[in-house]
Structure 1
Amino acid sequence: SVYLREPAALPRELQRHLGLALLGSSQVDLSAPLPRILAGTTRDPVEDVKAGRLLEDLLHALSALRIDVPALSTQRDDFPFLVDRQLQRLNADGRPPLTSLTADAWEVLLGYSWPGNLRELWRVLASARDHALARPGAEAIDAQDLPAHVRRRVQLSQMPAQRPERGLPLEQILEQVERHLIRMALSRSRGNKTRAAEMLSLWRPRLIRRMEALQIEDTREED
């Protein structure tokens, strides 16, 4: 299989030959079968065609099966799980693991628009983890570990909300972090609330009350 990232970036002549080959045109002499071609883009391919960046024949050839993946900025409910999964992958490199983020770091990540989607999230977390590991005694990724351009963009987007009379939404941020930790514990305990409470160092009744307050549904294995 061959994966094409941003096919609109290919030279126009290569786009033409590839489109003809995929459509089975007799104008292209193939000495061997084509591999399976997969393509991905962060832009609207129809707009790329209108702008002249992508040939329409190539778009048709690549659109036999199309899957539209929602932008990362629209997946706020899944965002903590995506961050946790990326950190698990990063921690597999043999260096000391960092599995958590401070409330300030979560505020920045949740306030960023993520134009580069998952690839950008991976790069940002990888850079932040490297920065945090360079700090003596660091136990979590902090906002100061995140790339400067991410922090600046969030600061600019939140300037109206940062006036002294309005304050910072600390309670909302803490609730998001708490909701993420409870869901992660329930997932790792396969829905067993007793084991999940032990992971979080909570009494089971306290966990159930917090689940109700945060509107966390648990339809998995019962205790």
Structure 2
Amino acid sequence: MARDSYCMSNAPMYINSYAIDHIIGESAWAQRIRKRILQVAAYDYNVLIAGPSGTGKELIARAIHAHSSRSDKPLIPVECASIPSGLFASQLFGHVKGAFTGADHETAGCFRAADGGTIFLDEIGELDLELQAQLLRVLQEKQVVPVGGHTPVPVNVRVVAASHRDLRQEVRAGRFRLDLYYRLNVVRMDACALKQRVEDIPLLVEHFLAKAAMENGLPLKRLSADAIAMLQAYDWPGNVRELQHALERAVVFNESTVLSPTAFEGVFDTDLELEVQGQVPTSTEAVLDALPTPEKAKLAAESLRVGEDEEENWPTLAALEEAHIQRTLKKTFYNQSAAANLLGIDRKQLARRIKKYGMQIPRRSPGRPARS
């Protein structure tokens, strides 16, 4: 009996394959999620993992499976967003031979492929209401009816679902079934945006650089302190996945074993990310929003030093922007790519601001040799 193409795993995931030590970091969130994984894994309840894209929701699901009593059975991940609605029932519940044109053989479907193990329904919030109803019936009755068949087939699976959407909001908006939400949300776990655990970035960097070296047979590389600081100041809208890809690109295009901020030139698509999010700010807002909290506090303190009787000297946003750009350029030894990364804007935007404020960029930066 064939397995369907949307069932993305063909082999059981054993307990050591995705143990909790793959959850990298020592932040409060990382320690808490590792503890919760072990607690949740001991029970057979359904789990809903919520959090932004790129935060490791599938890694959490795999760790739950790996530490559960089902670890010697398959974990079947299903990317719900990629399954055409017309193929949903066939792919998840299987079909009998001759059920439709082209059904030349019987298929098991993802639920039967996961029998005895775990099925991971990734991005479940992308299913339309009709498909949600079909899924709900399977969860309620714990059996599937293959397309073209009439005989229910019992299935013994644990369901772990994930979504980057707030499913409670989706329920309120009428886009997600309340009864399905309750079926899935027996145990809720929250993945964490990288910008909320920047203290984990050094350990994540070490992990991904070691992984890149091992997979590609390259010398192990490391980041300079300035590069680490730059990565911690960045907002990471793509979260851990974006960090991993940024490091991989830096490794590919830089021969030095110590990666400085210049190794990340052109890595961050800040403009694209802001446009996709629909949050393109004004130029001043872009700079101020990119500041780490200590810098924001410093600027606020500087502004508040102006007394009420000196309002005519109150600095404008443009003045604050110019002053901060000057400080950032000096900090990065006038490397415009590194400065742009720290400011959360691209190099062209920075160049326009340098021209706007008439800033002078020295040919030889203080304490550093001239760039070639």
Q: Same fold (TM over 0.5)?
A: yes
> Could you list the per-position Cα deviations for residues 91-149 of structure 1 after superposition, in whole angstroms to 9, with x for gaps in the alignment?
220331343123453243212222332233223322332233xxxx3213343443231
Cα distance change of structure 1 residues 75 and 158 upon mapping to structure 2, 3 Å threshold: closer
Report how far residue 153 of structure 1 moved.
7.2
Gap regions ≥5 residues in structure 2: 1-117, 146-150, 275-285, 292-316, 333-372
Report if aligned partners of 2:128, 2:175 keep a CA contact under 8 Å in 1: no
Q: Percent identity?
A: 28
- 2:257 is the counterpart of 1:139: yes
Q: Letter of the aligned partner of 1:149 in structure 2?
A: D
CA distance in 2, matches of 1:128, 1:113: 18
Q: Letter of the aligned partner of 2:201 in structure 1?
A: F
Match of 1:32 among 137, 147, 154: 154
- 2:308 is the counterpart of 1:148: no
Report if aligned partners of 1:102, 1:141 keep a CA contact under 8 Å in 2: yes
Q: SS at the partner of 2:207? A: helix
The structure that is strand-richer by fraction is 2
Q: SS at the partner of 1:16? A: helix
Report how far residue 62 of structure 1 moved.
1.4
Corresponding residue number in structure 2 for 1:2: 119
Report how far residue 162 of structure 1 moved.
6.0
> Could you list the per-position Cα deviations for residues 169-195 of structure 1 after superposition, in whole angstroms to 9, with x for gaps in the alignment?
959xxxxxxxxxxxxxxxxxxxxxxxx
Q: Letter of the aligned partner of 1:106 in structure 2?
A: I
Report if aligned partners of 1:7, 1:54 keep a CA contact under 8 Å in 2: no
CA distance in 1, matches of 2:272, 2:257: 24
Which stretch of the first structure deviates more once superposed, 68-77 or 158-167?
A: 158-167
- 2:280 is the counterpart of 1:163: no
Report if aligned partners of 1:98, 1:129 keep a CA contact under 8 Å in 2: no
Corresponding residue number in structure 1 for 2:53: none
Q: Letter of the aligned partner of 2:257 in structure 1?
A: E
Cα distance change of structure 1 residues 33 and 121 upon mapping to structure 2, 3 Å threshold: same
Report if aligned partners of 1:104, 1:143 keep a CA contact under 8 Å in 2: yes
Report if aligned partners of 1:71, 1:117 keep a CA contact under 8 Å in 2: yes
Q: SS at the partner of 2:258? A: coil
Report if aligned partners of 1:45, 1:54 keep a CA contact under 8 Å in 2: yes
Q: SS at the partner of 1:54? A: coil
Q: For the aligned residues, what is the CA RMSD?
A: 3.5
CA distance in 1, matches of 2:128, 2:172: 17
Match of 1:129 among 234, 242, 251: 251
The structure that is helix-richer by fraction is 1
Q: Letter of the aligned partner of 2:269 in structure 1?
A: H
Say which one has the larger Rg: 2
CA distance in 2, matches of 1:92, 1:52: 48
- Report how many aligned residue pairs link the two structures: 167
Q: Letter of the aligned partner of 1:37 in structure 2?
A: V
Report if aligned partners of 1:114, 1:121 keep a CA contact under 8 Å in 2: yes
Corresponding residue number in structure 2 for 1:111: 233
Q: SS at the partner of 2:259? A: coil
Q: Letter of the aligned partner of 1:71 in structure 2?
A: A
- 2:15 is the counterpart of 1:15: no
Corresponding residue number in structure 1 for 2:190: 68
Gap regions ≥5 residues in structure 1: 172-223
Report how far residue 7 of structure 1 moved.
0.8
CA distance in 1, matches of 2:197, 2:179: 32
CA distance in 1, matches of 2:263, 2:152: 51
CA distance in 1, matches of 2:152, 2:253: 49
Q: SS at the partner of 2:269? A: helix
Report if aligned partners of 1:45, 1:59 keep a CA contact under 8 Å in 2: yes
Report how far residue 23 of structure 1 moved.
2.8
CA distance in 2, matches of 1:38, 1:106: 35
Q: Letter of the aligned partner of 1:9 in structure 2?
A: E
Q: Letter of the aligned partner of 2:327 in structure 1?
A: G
Greater RCO structure (CA 8 Å; 6+ sep): 2
Q: Letter of the aligned partner of 1:108 in structure 2?
A: M
CA distance in 1, matches of 2:131, 2:272: 39
Report if aligned partners of 2:144, 2:155 keep a CA contact under 8 Å in 1: no
Q: SS at the partner of 2:198? A: coil
Q: SS at the partner of 2:228? A: helix
TM-score, normalised to structure 2's length?
A: 0.38
Q: Write the mapping of 1:30-109 to structure 2, written as runs, cut at 5 A.
A: 30-109=152-231
